Amino acid sequence: MNIIIIEDEKPAARLLQRKIEKLGYSITTLLHSVEESLDWFQNNPQPDLIFLDIQLSDGLSFEIFEKINIKSAVIFTTAYDEYALRAFKLNSIDYLLKPIDEEELSIAISKFKNQFQINSISSLDFEVIKRMLVNPLEREYRKRFSVKIGQQIKVIDIAEVECLYSENKGTYIHTLDNRDYLIDSSLEIIETELNPKDFYRISRKFIIPMPSIKEIQVYSNSRLKISLPTYKGEEVIVARERVSDFKQWLG
């Protein structure tokens, strides 16, 4: 798998390189600016996967997409959450906030491999993949969850979900009948499987569906607090950096 890193801070680029190589993948190229990246893409075959910082020393990395028809998949790496929606309109697999957690990095690469079933990356039609990513309405979203309870399998319809949350390194579904079920997945992966019109990830710990919102209150530090019908666990707080996008999602 051919992977490159575009990151203006050279120490950060080398640190990310070490983390990726620790997972068993090699990095072929390190680039550090929009200008350098444009020159490289004009003279080299495109890689399979790009780890891309958004704010580079000479501009936003989105400028690269405006001038080059990038067919590679992208994992964005940034300290700023404000560009997430714009990033996901491109060939984005994931959006990792700095400092990059090694577990989240591993999940992002696995997500890339799972989505595109990489056996021979050169055989993939990236134009088809790009259209799928840019036009999410064409995708099939998850309609139900299957959870194991002892020796039995329970099917939970998506309409029964009051929220999804992470706790003590586990991921749970909380249903409208006030029950909690442990599921074998992460919020990062589940987020990509849910219809973004109906579900919103308000923080690193919670994904909520719009029908479950009972009340919204102004909270400290410019955040919002969500009341749900039956969930009585940890406070459900919209992260400050997501408040603006959350309001747009509400319409």
Is 71 exposed, middle or buried, given 0-12, 13-18 or 19+ CB atoms closer than 10 A?
Answer: middle
pTM: 0.50
Q: What is the pLDDT of residues 23-46, one digit of tens each?
A: 999 999 999 999 999 999 999 999
Q: Residues 78-132: pLDDT tens digits? A: 776 555 545 454 556 788 888 888 888 999 898 888 766 443 333 334 444 444 4
pLDDT value at position 54?
Answer: 83
Q: What is the dihedral of CA 116, 117, 120, 126, to 10 degrees?
A: -10
Whether residue 250 is predicted with pLDDT greater than 80 in this model: the reply is yes
* Architecture of the 144-250 domain: Beta Barrel (2.40)
pLDDT exceeds cutoff 60 at 241: yes
- Tell me the pLDDT tens digit for each residue of 137-147: 455 788 999 99
Whole-number pLDDT of residue 116 = 61
Domains of the chain by residue range? 3-137, 144-250
Query: Angle at which helices 10-22 and 102-116 pack, to 10 degrees?
Result: 70
Q: Which residue has the tokens 């569906």?
A: 209
Q: Mean of the per-residue pLDDT values for the chain?
A: 84
Question: For residue range 169-215, what is the model confidence (pLDDT) as tens digits?
Answer: 899 999 999 999 999 888 888 888 899 999 999 998 999 999 999 99
Name the architecture of domain 3-137: 3-Layer(aba) Sandwich (3.40)
Owner of token pair 């399998």:
153
